[in-house]
Amino acid sequence: MDISSVFISDINLTRWVIGTLVLFLLLGGFSLVLAKFKHDKSEGLPRRIKRLEILNLTPRHQLHLVQHNGTEHLILTGPQGDTVIANASERPTLDKPTVQE
Are 53 and 83 in the same domain? yes
Could you state, in chain order, the average pLDDT of each consecutive group of 10 residues for the chain (101 residues)? 56 86 96 82 75 92 90 91 80 59 57
Give the pLDDT of residue 79.
92
Q: Is residue 99 part of a domain?
A: no
Report yes or no on 93 lying in a domain. Answer: no
- Amino acid at residue number 66: V
Whether residues 53 and 79 share a domain: the answer is: yes
Full domain range(s) for residue 12: 3-36
On whether residue 98 sits in a domain, the answer given is no
81 — alpha (psi -120 to 50), left (phi > 0) or beta? Answer: left
Which residues does residue 81 pair with via DSSP β-bridges, in sequence order?
Answer: 78
Q: What are phi and psi of 65, to 5 degrees?
A: -105, 115
* Domain assignment of residue 56, yes or no: yes
Structurally, the chain folds into a number of domains equal to: 2
- The pTM assigned to this predicted structure is 0.47
At residue 45, the pLDDT reads 74
One domain, residues 53 and 29: no
